[in-house]
Structure 1
Amino acid sequence: MVHDAPLQHVTGANGPGKLIGTSEQPLLDLQGLSIRFDGAPKDVNVVDDVSFSVGKGKTLCLVGESGCGKSVTALALMGLLPTPPARIVAGSAMFEGKDLLSLDEHERADMRGDRMAMIFQEPMTSLNPAFTIGDQIAEGIVRHRKVSKAEAWERALEMLRKVRIPAPEKRLKAYPHEMSGGMRQRVMIAMALANDPQLLIADEPTTALDVTIQAQILTLVRRLQEETGTSMIMITHDLGVVAEVADEVAVMYAGRVVETGPVEAIFEDPQHPYTIGLMGSVPSLGRRQGRLATIRGSVPPPELMPKGCRFTPRCPFSDQHCANDPPPLGEIAPGHRARCWYAPLEVKRGEAA
Structure 2
Amino acid sequence: MVESLEMQSDVTAGSRLLTVENLAIRFKNATANTVDGISFGVDRGETLCIVGESGCGKSISALALMGLLPMPPAEIASGRISFDQKDLLSLPAKTRADLRGDRMAMIFQEPMTSLNPSFRIGDQIAEGVLRHRAVSPADARRRALEMLERVKIPAASERLDDYSHQLSGGMRQRVMIAMALANDPDLLIADEPTTALDVTIQAQILDLMRTLQQETGTALIMITHDLGVVAEIADQVAVMYAGKIVEQGPVQAIFDDPQHPYTIGLMSSLPSLGERQSRLTTIAGMVPTIDRMPSGCRFAPRCPFTTVTCEAQAPALSAVSDRHLAACHLAPLENHLAEAL
Tell me, in whole angstroms, the C-alpha distance in 2 between the residues paired with 1:304 and 1:98. 36
Q: CA deviation at 1:105?
A: 1.5
The answer to whether the aligner puts 1:352 opposite 2:330 as a matched pair is no
Instruction: Please name the residue that 2:293 is paired with.
Output: 305
Tell me, in whole angstroms, the C-alpha distance in 1 between the residues paired with 2:63 and 2:5. 25
Tell me, in whole angstroms, the C-alpha distance in 2 between the residues paired with 1:271 and 1:293. 18
What letter matches 2:27 in structure 1? F
Deviates more, 1:22-31 or 1:240-249: 22-31
Contact persistence 2:248–2:324 (CA under 8 A)? yes
Q: Following superposition of structure 1 onto structure 2, how do residues 180-329 of structure 1 map, counting pairs within 5 Å?
A: 180-329=168-317
Tell me, in whole angstroms, the C-alpha distance in 1 between the residues paired with 2:137 and 2:272. 50
Deviates more, 1:295-304 or 1:343-352: 343-352
What letter matches 1:271 in structure 2? Q
Name which of 92, 104, 109 aligns with 1:116.
104
Give the unaligned 5+ runs of structure 1: 1-8
Q: Once the two structures are aligned, what percentage of the paired residues are identical?
A: 66
Instruction: Please name the residue that 1:35 is paired with.
Output: 25
Name which of 24, 42, 57 aligns with 1:54.
42
- CA deviation map 1:4-23 (0-9, x unaligned): xxxxx6533x33xx8xxx55
- CA deviation map 1:191-220 (0-9, x unaligned): 000000000000000001111111111111
CA RMSD after TM alignment: 1.2
Give the unaligned 5+ runs of structure 2: none
Aligned pairs, how many?
337
Tell me, in whole angstroms, the C-alpha distance in 2 between the residues paired with 1:261 and 1:85. 33
Tell me, in whole angstroms, the C-alpha distance in 1 between the residues paired with 2:280 and 2:116. 42
The answer to whether the aligner puts 1:174 opposite 2:162 as a matched pair is yes
Q: CA deviation at 1:289?
A: 4.2
Contact persistence 2:16–2:84 (CA under 8 A)? no
Deviates more, 1:25-34 or 1:267-276: 25-34
Contact persistence 1:121–1:203 (CA under 8 A)? yes
SS in structure 1 opposite 2:188? strand
Name which of 323, 330, 335 aligns with 1:342.
330
Name which of 63, 69, 93 aligns with 2:57.
69
Tell me, in whole angstroms, the C-alpha distance in 2 between the residues paired with 1:305 and 1:184. 38
Tell me, in whole angstroms, the C-alpha distance in 1 between the residues paired with 2:132 and 2:269. 44
Q: CA deviation at 1:166?
A: 0.7
- CA deviation map 1:239-264 (0-9, x unaligned): 00000000000000000000000000
Contact persistence 1:35–1:86 (CA under 8 A)? yes
Tell me, in whole angstroms, the C-alpha distance in 1 between the residues paired with 2:227 and 2:168. 26
TM-score (norm. length: structure 2): 0.96
Tell me, in whole angstroms, the C-alpha distance in 1 between the residues paired with 2:197 and 2:135. 34
Tell me, in whole angstroms, the C-alpha distance in 2 between the residues paired with 1:120 and 1:266. 26
Contact persistence 1:10–1:330 (CA under 8 A)? no
Name which of 6, 12, 22 aligns with 1:11.
6
Residues 23 and 286 (structure 1 numbering): CA distance in 2 closer, same or farther, change over 3 Å?
farther
TM-score (norm. length: structure 1): 0.93
What letter matches 1:163 in structure 2? V
The answer to whether the aligner puts 1:136 opposite 2:124 as a matched pair is yes
